[in-house]
Structure 1
Amino acid sequence: MAFRIEGVELGGDPALLAELIACWRASVEATHTFLTPDDIERIASYVPDAIASVAHLAVCRDEGGKVASFIGADGVMFEMLFIHPSLRGCGLGPLLLDHAISEHGVTLVDVNEQNEQAVGFYEHCGFEVFDRSATDAMGDPFPILHMHLP
């Protein structure tokens, strides 16, 4: 299967935002097993603003043009990386990671400690933990690992 990456501006494109939110939800439900359904609904309420406010957003589309995954970066920080669960293991994570590193110089990422798959992915890609926070950015009790490319 062939994929293409494109930088996007949401700029009032409700259809694209809806696709990104659907990809986010599918990804989170498949990988963030430490979250309850209520947690996911609460977080979902601020996901549209989080996506819309990211400085650099890149979308990976499948051959049919459907959103398969997306990544957001701001400065040297990965803000988000979500892959539709039906396409995990197809190389989209490294593809988007390489894009963000080469295009935007990204070297930092915060990862939910309880999302062991994501932690393992970033470690496999060369990231190392340099700090830990007991809560996430919203103050919720989901520990965050702060990782960087050395």
Structure 2
Amino acid sequence: MNTSENKISVNRLIEIKPYQDIYRPQILSIWERSVLATHHFLSQTDFEEIKILVNSIDFNQFEVFCLTDEDIVIGFVGVHSNKIEMLFLEPQYFGQGLGKSLLEFAVNKLEANQLDVNEQNENALKFYRKSGFEILERTEKDEQGRAYPLLRMKLK
């Protein structure tokens, strides 16, 4: 490996930046890769239907911030009315503390204190519990009426 390659990896600039429309294609790709890596409980049909819904989201309707590595989006968080509506990370960055950075940003800077998580997404549930969220309520179905229970959580 040459020294310029080493220098690039050592000098990575990871930042949290406000959403811009130019980030949209990257966000949609991250959402898809992240869901495929974590939501194994979704049927293919449901995944495709949800993907259509996600592609129709106007991200400007939320407080969305992007985690960037050298200006490439590697994760994002979206908040509306103190509720985290979306938090997704490129799977290759799982387990490096970057999801925690996004969550802490949402809590500390955007005053988020609530979220919903799929009950079957056990790793996310553990992550949110470890971060101080507790379950307030369980629904039998998700917001589209599919048989994927949601856990409504609030920061302790």
Normalised by the length of structure 1, the TM-score is: 0.91
2:150 maps to a residue whose letter is: I
- In the alignment, which residue of structure 2 is the partner of 1:7? 18
- In the alignment, which residue of structure 2 is the partner of 1:109? 115
RMSD: 1.3
Identity across matched positions, percent:
34
Give the 3-state SS of the residue equivalent to 1:35 in structure 2: coil
* 1:130 is the counterpart of 2:136: yes
1:84–1:137 Cα change, 3 Å: same
1:11-51 per-residue CA deviation (whole Å, 9 max, x = no partner) reads xx4xx211101000000000001012222111100102335
Count the aligned residue pairs.
145
CA contact (8 A) 1:5 1:58 kept: yes
CA–CA distance in structure 1, aligned partners of residues 138 and 87 of structure 2: 19
- In the alignment, which residue of structure 1 is the partner of 2:5? none
CA–CA distance in structure 2, aligned partners of residues 116 and 51 of structure 1: 28
1:56 maps to a residue whose letter is: E
2:135 maps to a residue whose letter is: V
Q: Select which of 24, 28, 33 maps to 1:17.
A: 24
CA contact (8 A) 1:54 1:73 kept: no
1:23–1:107 Cα change, 3 Å: same
Q: Which has the larger radius of gyration?
A: 2
Give the 3-state SS of the residue equivalent to 1:50 in structure 2: coil
* 1:93 is the counterpart of 2:114: no
1:61 maps to a residue whose letter is: T
Q: Select which of 75, 97, 112 maps to 1:69.
A: 75
CA–CA distance in structure 1, aligned partners of residues 85 and 74 of structure 2: 18
Give the 3-state SS of the residue equivalent to 2:75 in structure 1: strand
CA contact (8 A) 1:51 1:72 kept: no
CA–CA distance in structure 2, aligned partners of residues 77 and 138 of structure 1: 18
1:82 maps to a residue whose letter is: F
Q: Select which of 38, 42, 61 maps to 1:35.
A: 42
CA–CA distance in structure 1, aligned partners of residues 117 and 111 of structure 2: 18
Give the 3-state SS of the residue equivalent to 1:114 in structure 2: coil
Normalised by the length of structure 2, the TM-score is: 0.88
Aligned positions of 1:134-145 closer than 5 A: 134-145=140-151
Give the 3-state SS of the residue equivalent to 2:109 in structure 1: helix
